[in-house]
Amino acid sequence: MKSKTVFYCTECGNEFPKWSGQCAACGAWNTIVEEPSKAEDKRSAPGSRNARGKKPVTLREVDITEELRFDTGLGELDRVLGGGAVEGSLVLVGGAPGIGKSTLLLQICQHMGEHQKILYVTGEESERQLKLRAQRLGVDSPNLLILSETNLSDILDAVEDVSPDILIADSIQTLYSPESQSAPGSVTQVKECTMALMRLAKGEHVTVFVIGHVNKEGAIAGPKVLEHMVDCVLYFEGDEAASYRILRAAKNRFGSTNEIGVFEMAERGLREVPNPSEMLLSGRPVNTPGTCVTCVMEGSRPVLAELQALLAVTNYNVPRRTSNGLDYNRAMLLLAVLDKRGGLRTNGLDAYLNVIGGLYINEPAADLAAVLAIASSARDIPIPDDLVALGEVGLTGELRAVAQLEQRLSEIARHGFKKAIIPRQRRFKLTPPAGLRLFEAATVREAMALVLDA
Ligand code: TYD
Ligand code: MG
């Protein structure tokens, strides 16, 4: 029988019978690749009849004692994981090449190696390169074993030999299972290798960290394809040019996905940034139109963020609108509200919105700051440097209350801001933290008058 081929999307992993330019499932362009079909060996695939059977148990018999967790030695990473790594879980760390994934995982080996045996498998670097990097990071734990290998069955043999508590696989795209004919990095291969590592985690109770590169060209399968299979997916993001890095959980079976971890790439590896607001506001322009500070909740932490807007007369028939770090549709909605209810004509103007520092805001509490930054740019009037704006904007231009207002205000005051503009408080009188003056506004128009016409 001639071996058939199927088409996969490298973005979402869906399978199609024929090639097309755009993925019908996730809408991504140029991500469909052709790979040999696995139809023939379906019978030996995991989950098939001859795999080791498990008996059903009653709900009462299920053990629900807390998962055992351990510290990784980096508080910011522990926070994103939900309070440390869970024993026997599989954590996927995704990010663009060069962002610092290998650095992050090698760095935590020193602390984890104090009580656990670690096997670091690298398919990307030689043992010598890894040693040089480890030296730079100050890692020399005797419990850290390294293996430069890409063949999955050899790796599993090594695991059997040394029986580590923790396995680090760097990266999933370089590993290959000799049982499958597809090339390393293909959708079939990354799925198969991840599945094998998942079985290792669950069966042998080994904690597995897997590195996965995200690449825009879609030539290799990215971590998105694996998201549904693993316990926890962390994305390591940041501006290549800047040294700041943000770690975010996209999925976490053992915790929330709201927390972020902030790091700085330094000479000797990643340094934790316990005070992200300071970092996000560093280098903020003063006395310049088109920038406004707000406070968003990143999980349990209030974080100050700077929003910027640039409005300029367009050279096109249809004005250009872009939004970076803020949902595009939300940004368009705010422009429309501003046009209709704020009395600010924006047709004929290009509008560019940006959140500084690689932060992604998906909280309506930042609406007012976005609106004020836009208005400030359009009218070319700077917003006072010591002012922070909080508030959700409704479709009629009304300002709506934000949650955890007091917590946000104390973070704002802590950073030396003097004024906060907030939605009108109906239910009770708020006592602001020392040094902070509150200005209440009921509508976008009122807020604009308070800030820009003062
Ligand atoms: P790396 O961890 O190799 O990235 P990834 O595994 O995600 O591809 O990080 C590579 C970058 O980090 C590289 O540009 C050098 C820089 N770096 C430092 O600035 N300081 C350090 O201590 C280390 C180890 C790397
Ligand atoms: Mg690497």
Is the pLDDT assigned to residue 103 strictly greater than 50? yes
> Ligand 1 centroid vs 267 CA: distance in angstroms?
9
Q: Which atom of ligand 1 is nearest to 171's Cα?
A: 6
Ligand 2 centroid–CA 251 distance in Å is: 22
For the cut 60, the answer to whether the pLDDT of residue 51 exceeds it is: no
Q: Which two structure tokens, joined as six digits, stand for 319?
A: 């004005």
- Is it true that domain 279-452 has CATH number 3.40.50.10440? no
Residue 420 CA: distances (Å) to CA of 54, 278, 363, 441? 59, 18, 18, 11
Which atom of ligand 1 is least distant from the CA of 211?
Answer: 6
Verify whether ligand 1 is closer than 6 Å to residue 98 (CB atom). yes
Question: Quick one: pLDDT band at residue 219, thresholds 50, 70, 90?
Answer: low
Domain ranges within the chain, ordered by starting residue: 1-38, 68-274, 279-452
Nearest ligand, measured from the Cα of 170: 2
CA 105 to ligand 2 centroid distance, Å:
9
48 has a pLDDT exceeding 50: no
Please say whether the structural domain 68-274 has been given the CATH code 3.40.50.300.
yes
pLDDT of residue 440: 95
Q: Cα of 256 to ligand 1 centre, how many Å?
A: 28
pLDDT of residue 316: 92
Q: Is 245 touching ligand 1 by the criterion CB < 6 Å?
A: no
**pLDDT of residue 40 exceeding 70:** no
Range of lowest pLDDT (102-106, 154-158, 426-430): 426-430
**Residue pLDDT, tens place only, 407-442:** 999 999 988 999 999 999 877 778 889 999 999 999
In the predicted structure, residue 387 carries a pLDDT above the cut 50: yes
pTM for this entry = 0.79
**Ligand 1 within 6 A of 382 CB?**
no
CB of 271 within 6 A of ligand 1: the answer is: no
- pLDDT tens digit sequence for 332-372: 999 999 999 999 999 899 999 999 887 889 899 999 999 99
CA of 240 to the centre of ligand 2 (A): 14
